[in-house]
């Protein structure tokens, strides 16, 4: 099992450009998440999904969009990139929302917006 | 508001024991997680507590007191590979994880 994979690993964007961060998991997990991690701060939830076709906003959704057409894939779209979106983005998945079910994380995408 | 507090950085010696504390104030409580994150890598799961008390897993133990809003992660027989950040996260009433900023643990020989 590859687990959770993310592409690209690194990206530099100019202000106003758009891009899609890809995330795929092969564990047949229904629950998937997008987080951003800024230096000195905790992970912040951007969006999450409880299954194909169902997504919901997290704590910091502004400037982002998601879709979930299959169980495996959960891409994150950045429209009109801004310097405030410079961060490390992690995708994660879990078997269940509640209980002791851990979240499995992808390796992350390091994004710089200049 | 929701808040998770952890020390920013701790230093310990190889072979010793270290305790990393976490205090929390959240809207609801559905369990507390500890994750390990090596520099430049993804977080990986260490432990889960939902009831008061101590959970032991090899060299790592985690303690929870719900009435005090307090948890700690205890690492024994420290090894150089334990140098990492340790993240405390609480699952709130909406089953979303609220994360602390993490504690960077530096192990010295």
pLDDT exceeds cutoff 80 at B32: yes
Binding-face residues of A in 11-30 toward B, CB within 8 A: none
Confidence (pLDDT) at B59 = 97
Distance of alpha carbon A25 from alpha carbon A48, whole angstroms: 14
For an interface test with B, the pick among A35, A42, A106 (most B C-beta atoms closer than 10 Å) comes out as A42
Neighbours of A40 (CB within 10 A): 8
Of B17, B40, B32, residue with least CA distance to B87: B32
> Which segments in chain A show pLDDT lower than 50?
none
Nearest Cβ partner for B45 among A59, A102, A106:
A102
Do residues B78 and B91 make contact, with C-beta atoms less than 8 angstroms apart? no
* Mean of per-residue pLDDT scores for chain A: 96
Confidence (pLDDT) at A1 = 78
Tens of pLDDT, residue by residue over B76-104, are: 999 999 999 999 999 999 899 999 999 99
Confidence (pLDDT) at A28 = 95
């Amino acid at each position: 099992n590859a687990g959770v994979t993310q592409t690209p690993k690194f990206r530099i964007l100019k202000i106003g450009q758009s891009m899609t961060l890809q995330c795929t998991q092969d564990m047949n997990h229904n629950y998937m998440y997008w987080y951003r991690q800024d230096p000195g701060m905790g992970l912040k939830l951007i969006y999450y999904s409880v299954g194909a076709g169902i997504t919901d906003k997290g704590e910091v959704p502004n400037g982002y969009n998601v879709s979930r057409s299959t169980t495996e894939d959960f891409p994150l779209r950045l429209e009109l990139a801004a310097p405030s979106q410079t961060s490390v983005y992690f995708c994660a998945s879990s078997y269940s929302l509640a209980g002791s079910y851990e979240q499995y994380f992808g390796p992350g995408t390091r994004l710089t917006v200049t | 508001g929701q808040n998770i507090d952890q020390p920013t950085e701790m230093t310990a010696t190889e072979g010793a024991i270290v305790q990393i504390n976490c205090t929390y104030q959240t809207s609801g409580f559905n369990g507390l997680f500890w994750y390990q994150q090596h520099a430049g890598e993804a977080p990986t799961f260490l432990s889960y507590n939902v009831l008061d008390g101590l959970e032991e897993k090899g060299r790592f133990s985690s303690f929870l007191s719900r009435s005090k809003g307090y948890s700690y992660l205890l690492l024994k027989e420290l090894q150089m590979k334990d140098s990492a950040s340790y993240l405390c996260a609480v699952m709130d009433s909406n089953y979303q994880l609220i994360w602390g900023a993490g504690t960077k643990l530096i192990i010295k020989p």
